[in-house]
Amino acid sequence: MSLISEKSMVPSRFLSCLIAISLFLIITSSLALLHFNTSSFLPRSVFQLILVNNSTSGFWNSNISGGEIGTPLFPSENVKNSEAVRSTPSSNNSLGSQEPNRKCEVNRALLRVYMYDLPPEFHFGLLGWKGSKDKMWPNVNEPSQIPRYPGGLNLQHSIEYWLTLDLLSSNIPTIARPCTAVRVQNSTEANVIFVPFFASLSYNRHSKIQEKEKISTDRLLQKKLVEFLKSRDEWKRFGGRDHLVVAHHPNSMLVARKSLGSAMFVLADFGRYPVEIANIEKDVIAPYKHMVKTIGAGNSRSFKERPILIYFQGEIYRKDGGAIRQDLYYLLKDEKGVHFKFGSTQSNGVVSASQGMSSSKFCLNIAGDTPSSNRLFDAIASHCVPVIISDEIELPYEDVLDYSEFCIFVRASDAVRKDYLLNLLGGIREDKWTKMWKRLKELTIHFEYQYPSQHNDAVDMIWQAVSRKIYSIQLKAHHDNRYHRSELFLKKQ
C-alpha cells in the first residue's frame, strides 16, 4: 500500500514542478512584453497606464499614430487616452520630466497642425519684420533674428506670437521643445488648421484710422483674412470647425468674429462674445501673459513673511460688471492689513505691484470691464493666493486643473457685504493657506509663456487644451454632415 502511494506521488511532484515553471515563464514573458513591445495584445491605453503607475518616464513620446494619411484626421483613441494621463497636472509636474531632445516626428505628436503661409502683414510684419519672396517666416533657429514683441500691456495678449513661434520651431530638431504639436505641410494630414494672424497686436497698433485712411489697417486685415479663409478648401471641408483662431484681446477680431464663428477661438474670456460665436464647448481659454516677474520657489515668502492680508492695485472705476471694484474700494480702503489702491503699469506700476503681491497673503482678482484680467496671473506668479470675485469668469485648462486647490472663489453678492471678506480671509488658518501656497508654486509653470516652449508651460498646455476640443469638433462635423456625406456616397455608386 505504501509502495503504491509512493509511486503515485512522483508524477504529482513532477506535475507541480512543471506547472510552477510554466507559470514563471508566462509571467516573465508578460513582463517582457509590457516593457519592450508596444504592439502587444494589451490595449495601448492599458499599456500606458501600467507604465505610468510604475513611474516609467517618457511614455508619451512613443510612436502613436493618429490615423491614416490622406483622410480628415482627428486624434485616435489611443492618443486621447495618452493625453488624459499625461496632461492631468499633479504635484510632480516639473521640467525635469522631459525626455532629452530628439526630432519630433509627426506620428509622435499629439496634434498635427497645418499653418497657413499668410503674408507677413498678418503676423511678423506687424512687428516690423520684412520677409521676401522666398522667405515667408523669420529664422526661429537664430534668436537674434526673431522679431521681439512690444512690451507693456501689449504683452499680456501676445498668445498668437508664442503659438506661432512654437509651430515654426516644431520641425527643427536642434530646438528642444515638447512633442505636443507639430507642423505638417499637407493640410490633409492635419487635425488642426492654425491661422497665424496676430489679431491682438493688430488691434492694439492699427485699430485707429490714420490720416488718408478710410478704413483702419486692423479692419482691412480682418476683411482680407475672412475672404482668404472662405475661399480655401480647408475651410470648406468642415465649415472652418477645425480652424484655430487666436483673438485673445477682447476687442480683437471685432469685424471678423461673426464670419469666422464656426472656428475654434483662443480667448481670454467670453465677456464680449455672444454664445453662438464663442462658448466653452468649442473654444479654448488661455492665460494672460503675466506682467510681474515670476518668483522662484525658493524665494517665495511664507505666511508669516507676508504682512499684508488683502491686496488690490489697479483701475477702480470700471463699467458694467466692474462696478463692484468701486463698492469694494469703499468697503476695504481704510481697513487694517488691506492694500486697496489705484494703480497702473505707468510710473513703476509693475514693480510696485510685484513687491505688493509678493508681500501679501491674498490677492483680489475682481471683474473689470470683462470677467478676466491679467491680475490673476500676476498673483499666481507672485505665489499670492488669488481671491476670484468674478461670477462669469472662465479659467484656462479648468477641465484638468482644480483651481479650488489654490484659489478662493467668492460670489460678488457676498463680497460686497460689510466685513465679509475681512472675516473670511482673516479666519483662514496658516496651515490651510500654506497648502494652497505650495500648490501655487507647483503650478506656476502652467502660466509661463516662453520660447522655446517647455513641457506643461502655457504654450504646451494650450496645445493640450486644443487637443481635448478635437473630439467635440469631430462629433459636430460628422453629425451636421450626415445627409450631405450620405448623398455624396450614393452618387459615387
Query: How deeply is 457 buried, as exposed, middle or buried, from its count of CB atoms within 10 A (0-12, 13-18, 19+)?
Result: buried
Of 296, 269, 299, 438, give the one whose Cα is nearest residue 365.
Answer: 269
Beta strands in 146-191 (DSSP E): 181-184
Residue 335, all three cell numbers: 481697513
Distance CA 149, CA 158 (A): 8
Q: Per 3-state DSSP, what percentage of the chain is helix, strand, and coil (rounded to 5)?
A: 45, 10, 45
- For the segment 145-149, the average pLDDT, to the nearest whole number, is 95
pLDDT at 322 over 50: yes
Structure confidence by residue, pLDDT tens digits, 101-133: 456 788 889 999 999 999 999 999 999 998 777
Confidence tier at 212 by pLDDT (50, 70, 90): confident
Total Cβ atoms within 10 A of residue 409? 14
Distance set, CA 287 to CA 240, 321, 468 (Å) = 24, 20, 17
Tell me the mean pLDDT in the region 173-186.
95
Number of helices (H), then strands (E), in the chain:
15, 11
Contact 416, 327 (CB under 8 A): yes
Please report, rounded to a whole number, the percentage of residues in the chain having pLDDT higher than 90.
Answer: 65
Q: Whole-angstrom Cα distance, residue 320 to residue 272?
A: 11
- Spatial CA neighbour of 318 closest among 362, 366, 254: 366
What nine digits make up the cell of 212?
488718408
The predicted-structure confidence for 235-262, as pLDDT tens digits, reads as follows 999 999 999 999 999 999 999 999 999 9
pLDDT beyond 50 at 317: yes
In this structure, the number of other CB atoms found within 10 A of the CB of residue 418 comes to 8
DSSP string, 435-477: HHHHHHHHHGGGG---SS--TTSHHHHHHHHHHHHHHHHHHHH
What gap in Å lies between CA 281 and CA 269, rounded to an integer?
13
Rounded Cα distance between 360 and 357, Å, is 5
Mean pLDDT, rounded, for 284-312: 96
Q: Is the domain covering 297-447 a CATH 3.40.50.2300 domain? A: no
Does residue 182 contact residue 111 with C-beta atoms inside 8 Å? yes
Check residue 132 and give its pLDDT: 75
Q: Look-up: residue for cell 526673431? A: 146
pLDDT in tens, 57-109: 222 222 222 222 222 222 233 333 333 333 334 333 433 333 434 567 888 89
pLDDT digits (tens, 9 = 90+) for 338-380: 999 987 665 578 899 999 999 999 999 999 889 999 999 999 9
Q: What is the pLDDT of residue 93?
A: 42
Which uninterrupted H or E stretch holds 489?
helix 482-491
Helices (H), 257-348: 323-332
Of 104, 99, 201, the C-alpha closest to 455 is 99
CA dist 215 and 217 (Å) reads: 7
CA-closest candidate to residue 141, choices 176, 108, 100 = 176
Torsion (CA) 7, 10, 13, 15 in degrees, nearest 10: -110
Q: How far apart are CA 482 and CA 451, in angstroms?
A: 42
DSSP state of 96: G
Q: Give the position of cell 478710410.
A: 214
Conformation bin of residue 173: beta by default, left when phi > 0, alpha when psi is -120 to 50: alpha
Query: Where are the domains positioned within the chain?
Result: 111-289+458-482, 297-447
Query: Are 473 and 401 contacting, i.e. CB atoms less than 8 angstroms apart?
Result: no
More confident residue, 135 or 140: 140
Least confident piece of the model among 150-164, 277-291, 383-397, 474-488: 474-488
pTM tops 0.95: no
